[in-house]
Structure formats: C-alpha cells, structure tokens
Amino acid sequence: MTITVDPEIRMGKRARAKEANRRAILEAARIVFARIGYEATNIRDIIRETNLASGTFYNYFKSKEEVFEAIANDSVARFRPLLQKVREEATDLESYLHAAYGAYFNFLAEENGSAIEAGTPHMSLIGVRIDTPEMETVSEEICADLELVMDKIGLGHLDCDYITAAAIGMARELGDHMLKRRPVDAEGATKFASNLMLAGIEALAKSDA
C-alpha cells in the first residue's frame, strides 16, 4: 500500500527544518561571538558549534557578517513587542523611562544568559544594535513616544531627537557595563538610567523656562 503525504504537510516539515537549521546557526554564532569575540570568529568556528555540514551553512548565510546582522535583526524583532507593552502601560514620563529601560536591560540579560553563566568575555557584543534599519524604526517609535509623553506635561518644546539619541546611547553603554558586572543587576541599571535621564530632562526644562 502506498501512503501519500499531503504536500502541505511535507512543505510544513521542510519549512520547520529550515527554520531549525537557521536557528541552530544563529545560536551557535551567539555562543562563539561571546566566547572569542566577533573579530576573531570565522565561519568554521560557527559551523563547528553546530551539528550541520558546512554546505548547509552556506544555504542560509554567505558570511559571518550576515549572521551577525541576522542576530541583530532577530533581537530587535523580539524586543519591539516589549516596547509596545511599555507604550501601552506607561502613564507618565517617569513610568515610561523606567519601564523602557527595564525592558531593555532585562532583555539584554536574558539574551546573554548562557554567556554570563559560562563567564565568556565578549558577551556585550550580543545585543540590540543601534545601526540597523530595524533599530532606526524603533528609534523613531521611541521619539514619538517621548514626544507624546512630554507634550502632556508641557515639555513638547524640548529637542526630542537629541533626547532620544541620549536615551538610546545611555542604554547601550550602560547595558555593556551591566553585563560585565557580577551579579548582573538589571534593576540597578534601570534605576540608574531612568533617574539620570529624568533628571536631565527636568534640568533641560528649567534651563528653557
């Protein structure tokens, strides 16, 4: 008796297998980048961390640069829903800043959990990059959020582009330092960043008054 497999089922299995292979490559690259650093890593290092053949790697990526870009884009894609939740729940500038920084620092700690446990030295390379088109979109969303919140409290005249750049730059730098500390203290980083940013905005408001 011949058993006929539904083409849609076959396609579904193939798609899942392709996604599993892609995920395996990205996870292996995260581990290797964290262990020896991005510059020292080559494609062979990544392949050795997987159970895949070298030819399989090239079915998905042409270079380690493409892999790193995919990791960055993947991180942004998973971070954006967290930012959306912040947007929906924040009631004022203080709560927005605290929730947004908290979302980022906790996300960063979770992203680098295995590297932190292993004590690898280059984990700060793996996070949400700020130089990708996807992150530029997120920056625009953050600026729009801040404009809306600041308008409500009479601070709509402040330079939102500069404030957004400062907020994101602080998050990036503090996040790198946070990952190097033991224990990793996401709540401490959140409190420091949100308080400093809030004080800075309040100082700007007073200087323009």
Looking at residue 54, its amino acid is S
Measured in Å, how far apart are the chain's first and last C-alpha atoms? 85
pLDDT of residue 73: 85
**Higher pLDDT, residue 115 or 8:** 115
Q: Which of 189, 202, 203 is nearest to 93 (CA)?
A: 202
pLDDT at 127 over 60: no
Q: What is the band of 102 on the pLDDT scale with cuts at 50, 70, 90?
A: very high
C-beta separation of 176 from 124 below 8 A:
yes
Mean pLDDT of all residues in 156-180? 92
Q: Where are the domains of the chain?
A: 7-208
Fold of the CATH domain 7-208 = Tetracycline Repressor; domain 2 (1.10.357)
The pTM of this model reads: 0.79
How confident is the model over 24-71, as pLDDT tens digits?
Answer: 999 899 888 888 888 899 999 999 999 898 889 999 999 999 998 898
